[in-house]
């Protein structure tokens, strides 16, 4: 039983972390067509915020909950700066945003490496020390915390998209940018806010990642490609595709790693995504619109 | 220059100019460089030529075909590891290489290593393995119309996956250390400076040959179809062509060039490790192409040579600064000069040309610069 439960639960936690990383990407990629390779470094910024918060607030039980909004803000503002300085000039050539953000990602990563060559240790709060016994498997609470956090982000984002006027504007822009503009929606402002929220989510993901593994300059590089694969497999414009894909990649990798080993699992998951795209080239779900874009 | 002379000169220039350029580059690389450069510098130049080989392929796939290949490290690695296996076996006289024995004294030579004892098979593998892998992958991707960023992400993911796989199979690949301690290159002593000169000449010759290949491809109907596919894939489809086949061919040719570059890299540098083929290395391979000018004939190769030189000279004295410089290059070039440095010449020429002559080819720049992603 434990052979089955352990990878399932671990994989779900991995998937949850991937989901937080991928949600922001899905938002910016899906709405604006921007491929932000620096998203991984925004995760790093989130992890760094957690570390710095702990330097100020020594009580770890409080510092992590405090760090979450701070990380969101820090990464979000980084995203805003990126949008305002570089990305706004290249909305008409989406593939080039990839190259520009590769440059940003290289520079940010190097800056982190220079200031913190050996990474930053983020301490776990004591209330995450324990385990939760599920079907005979001692599930570390920090994994449960990741899932709770991911669900929180998902529900928050989903509700915001569905029930607020801001969310309606975002969805309108995704579905048909030109028509949204003619309806008086300032797509420029919407894009900017979307980029802020998407990048901010990366910050939250960074806090979660720092609690699970170590935090060094490779943190972003570790998550960016799997997160993009999740977005690609999940399809653009809808959250449910991203959710299912993240969970499938997380659990799939965990089982495959259990049966073979971690690196072979990575290769197989990649192959599976390519095969999956044979069946669904647009990803799991796509928004069908009359817009030609 | 009179208008009449210009009218005669223009078609001649556009037809034979590139060939002349390749000839000039050939003289520089094959005659001039060996005459003036020290052994050490020449060996470095040989290394840059390997990256330039990869870059020529990227220029074909990305510049002309619009496929941003972010995982050329994979094909570079295929060629490099094929060559590395052969050279390891040469060094160990066809018995089990030392690193395998160190890992597990009882081990024998793995079955898939055995054919690489043969030099002919190694060369065959260097050409055929990338055709095979790029063929299958490209067929799967292009037939289903996966393109743009999706394609870029998938290729990058492949590079990450291969690097991780090679790192983990220490017993067969040497893991992080990679394959090294080579002694001979197809029988020639690697410590001998004549051998390094020969390897350099082969590499430079291959680079020139690849430039000739893409020059011929660019002026053929295929080249036009490739650019058409990049700029308006749907229209190409409506005209009765299958864009997938066009892209597949360009992707495979690019993969073979990357593989050749990788294969020559190994005897020159003396080591091949996963670091040279992973995500960062693959991104580095794009940098030269972007800087030089992705759609130009010479842009990618010259850009890669320059970036290679920059990496060696800057990263020696200023290792941190080099990464910022590379990142900054990506940003500045993409933002301000998407056609790369070679597009500056085109702009300059347009500026210098008399107004009347400049007005006539005004419809052309869209194809010449190739800004479309």
Q: Is the pLDDT of residue B182 over 50?
A: yes
What is the value of pTM for the model shown?
A: 0.89
B232-275, pLDDT tens digit by residue? 999 999 999 999 999 999 999 999 999 999 999 999 999 999 99
Percent of chain B with pLDDT over 70: 92
Report CB contact under 8 Å: A277, B338: no
Report CB contact under 8 Å: B160, A86: no
Whether B329 and chain A come into contact, CB under 8 Å, resolves to yes
Closest chain A residue to B336, measured at CA: A89
Report CB contact under 8 Å: A225, B156: yes
Report CB contact under 8 Å: B160, A225: yes
Written as six digits, the tokens of A61 are 């039980």
Instruction: Pick B157's closest partner by Cβ from A90, A107, A225.
Output: A225
Burial class (CB in 10 A: 0-12, 13-18, 19+), B93: exposed
pLDDT of residue B373: 37
CATH topology of domain A2-279: ABC transporter involved in vitamin B12 uptake, BtuC (1.10.3470)
Instruction: Pick B328's closest partner by Cβ from A33, A103, A275.
Output: A103
Closest chain A residue to B278, measured at CA: A221
Average pLDDT, chain B: 88
List b or e across B310-336, with b for residues whose CB sees 16 or more CB atoms inside 10 angstroms.
bbeeeeeeeeeebbbbbbebbbebbbe
Are β-strands B184-185 and A137-140 bridged in parallel, bridged antiparallel, or unpaired? Answer: unpaired
State the Cα–Cα distance between residues B85 and B119, nearest whole angstrom: 10
Whether B157 and chain A come into contact, CB under 8 Å, resolves to yes
Phi, psi of B272 (to 5 degrees): -135, 125
Q: Which residues of B touch A275 (CB under 8 A)?
A: 140
- Checking ipTM against 0.85, whether it exceeds it is yes
Instruction: Pick B168's closest partner by Cβ from A94, A261, A278.
Output: A261
CB pairs under 8 A between A and B: 119
Q: pLDDT-based confidence at B366, cuts 50/70/90?
A: very low
Per-residue pLDDT of chain A (293 residues; tens, 9 = 90+): 567 888 888 899 999 999 999 999 988 887 788 889 999 999 999 999 999 999 998 888 888 899 999 999 999 999 999 999 998 888 888 888 999 999 999 999 999 999 998 888 888 888 888 888 888 788 888 889 999 999 999 999 999 989 999 889 988 888 888 899 999 999 889 989 999 999 999 999 999 999 887 788 888 888 998 998 898 888 877 788 899 999 999 999 999 988 888 778 888 888 888 888 888 888 887 766 554 44
Q: pLDDT-based confidence at B203, cuts 50/70/90?
A: very high
CB count in 10 Å sphere of residue B168: 19
B276-321, pLDDT tens digit by residue? 999 999 999 999 999 999 988 999 999 999 999 998 888 778 878 8
pLDDT of residue A1: 57
Q: Is the pLDDT of residue B13 over 60?
A: yes
Report CB contact under 8 Å: A99, B290: yes
State the Cα–Cα distance between residues A109 and A215, nearest whole angstrom: 12
CB count in 10 Å sphere of residue A123: 14
State the Cα–Cα distance between residues B345 and B356, nearest whole angstrom: 19
Whether B331 and chain A come into contact, CB under 8 Å, resolves to yes
For chain A, the structural domain boundaries read: 2-279
State the Cα–Cα distance between residues B163 and B280, nearest whole angstrom: 11
Residue A132, H or E segment: strand A131-134
Which is nearest to B137 in space by CA: B165, B113, B162? B162
State the Cα–Cα distance between residues A19 and A202, nearest whole angstrom: 10
Least confident of B52-56, B108-112, B156-160: B108-112
Q: Which residues of B touch A225 (CB under 8 A)?
A: 153, 156-157, 160, 279
For chain B, the structural domain boundaries read: 21-278
DSSP string for residues in B267-324: HHHS-B-GGGTSHHHHHHHHHHHHHH-TTSSSHHHHHHHHHHHHHHHHHHH-HHHHHH
Task: Determine if residue B175 is left, alpha or beta; phi over 0 gives left, psi from -120 to 50 gives alpha, anything else beta.
Answer: left
Q: Which residues of B touch A35 (CB under 8 A)?
A: 149, 152-153
Quote the minimal CA–CA distance from A76 to chain B in Å. Answer: 20
Q: Is the pLDDT of residue B363 over 60?
A: no
Quote the minimal CA–CA distance from A86 to chain B in Å. Answer: 8
Instruction: Pick B330's closest partner by Cβ from A100, A114, A266.
Output: A100
Find out whether A60 and A193 touch, Cβ atoms under 8 Å.
no
State the Cα–Cα distance between residues B258 and B267, nearest whole angstrom: 16
pLDDT of residue A289: 56
Report CB contact under 8 Å: B168, A90: no
pLDDT of residue A6: 85
Report CB contact under 8 Å: A106, B371: no
State the Cα–Cα distance between residues B121 and A143, nearest whole angstrom: 50
């Amino acid at each position: 039983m434990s052979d089955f439960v352990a990878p399932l639960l671990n994989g779900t936690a991995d998937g949850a972390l991937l989901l937080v990383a991928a949600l922001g990407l899905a938002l910016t990629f899906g709405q604006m067509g921007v491929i932000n390779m620096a998203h991984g470094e925004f995760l790093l910024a989130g992890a760094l915020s957690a570390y710095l918060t702990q330097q100020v607030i020594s009580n770890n039980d409080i510092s992590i909950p405090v760090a979450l909004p701070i990380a969101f803000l820090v990464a979000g503002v980084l995203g805003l700066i990126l949008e305002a300085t570089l990305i706004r000039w290249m909305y008409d050539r989406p593939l080039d945003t990839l190259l520009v953000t590769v440059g940003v990602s290289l520079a940010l990563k190097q800056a982190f490496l220079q200031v913190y060559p050996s990474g930053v240790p983020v301490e776990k709060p004591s209330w995450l020390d324990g385990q939760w016994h599920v079907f005979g498997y001692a599930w570390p609470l920090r994994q449960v915390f990741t899932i709770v956090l991911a669900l929180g982000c998902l529900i928050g984002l989903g509700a915001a998209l569905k029930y607020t006027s801001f969310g309606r504007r975002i969805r309108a822009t995704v579905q048909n940018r030109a028509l949204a503009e003619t309806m008086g929606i300032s797509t420029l402002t919407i894009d900017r806010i979307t980029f802020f929220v998407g990048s901010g989510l990366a910050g939250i993901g960074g806090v979660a990642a720092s609690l699970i593994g170590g935090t060094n300059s490779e943190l972003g590089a570790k998550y960016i490609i799997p997160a993009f694969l999740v977005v690609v497999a999940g399809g653009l414009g809808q959250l449910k595709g991203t959710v299912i894909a993240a969970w499938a990649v997380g659990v799939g990798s965990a089982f495959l790693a259990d049966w073979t080993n971690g690196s072979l699992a990575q290769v197989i998951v990649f192959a599976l995504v390519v095969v999956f795209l044979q069946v669904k080239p647009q990803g799991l779900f796509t928004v069908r619109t009359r817009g030609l874009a | 220059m009179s208008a009449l002379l210009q009218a005669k000169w223009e078609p001649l220039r556009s037809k034979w100019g590139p060939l002349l350029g390749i000839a000039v580059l050939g003289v520089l690389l094959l005659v001039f460089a060996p005459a003036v450069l020290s052994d050490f510098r020449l060996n470095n130049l040989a290394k840059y030529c390997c990256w330039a080989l990869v870059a020529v392929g990227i220029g074909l796939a990305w510049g002309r075909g619009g496929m941003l290949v972010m995982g050329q490290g994979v094909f570079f690695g295929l060629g490099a590891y094929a060559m590395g296996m052969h050279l390891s076996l040469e060094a160990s006289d066809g018995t089990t290489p030392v690193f395998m024995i160190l890992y597990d004294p009882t081990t024998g030579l793995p079955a898939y290593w055995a054919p690489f004892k043969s030099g002919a098979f190694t060369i065959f593998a260097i050409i055929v393995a990338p055709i095979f892998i790029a063929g299958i992958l490209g067929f799967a991707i292009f037939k289903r119309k996966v393109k743009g960023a999706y394609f870029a992400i998938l290729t990058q993911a492949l590079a990450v996956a291969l690097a991780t796989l090679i790192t983990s199979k220490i017993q067969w690949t040497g893991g992080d250390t990679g394959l090294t301690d080579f002694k001979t290159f197809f029988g020639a002593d690697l410590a001998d400076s004549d051998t390094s000169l020969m390897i350099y000449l082969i590499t430079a010759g291959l680079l020139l040959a690849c430039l000739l290949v893409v020059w011929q491809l660019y002026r053929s109907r295929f080249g036009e179809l490739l650019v058409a596919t990049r700029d308006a894939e749907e229209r190409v489809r409506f005209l009765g062509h299958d864009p997938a086949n066009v892209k597949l061919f360009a992707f495979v040719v690019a993969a073979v060039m990357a593989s050749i570059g990788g294969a020559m890299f190994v005897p020159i540098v003396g080591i091949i490790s996963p670091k040279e083929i992973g995500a960062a290395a693959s991104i580095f391979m794009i940098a030269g192409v972007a800087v030089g000018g992705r759609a130009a004939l010479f842009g990618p190769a010259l850009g890669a040579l320059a970036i290679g030189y920059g990496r060696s000279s800057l990263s020696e004295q200023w290792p941190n600064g080099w990464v910022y410089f590379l990142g900054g290059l990506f940003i500045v070039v993409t933002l301000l000069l998407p056609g790369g440095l070679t597009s500056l010449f085109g702009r300059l020429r347009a500026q210098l040309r008399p107004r009347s002559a400049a007005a006539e080819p005004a419809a052309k720049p869209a194809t010449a610069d190739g800004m479309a992603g």
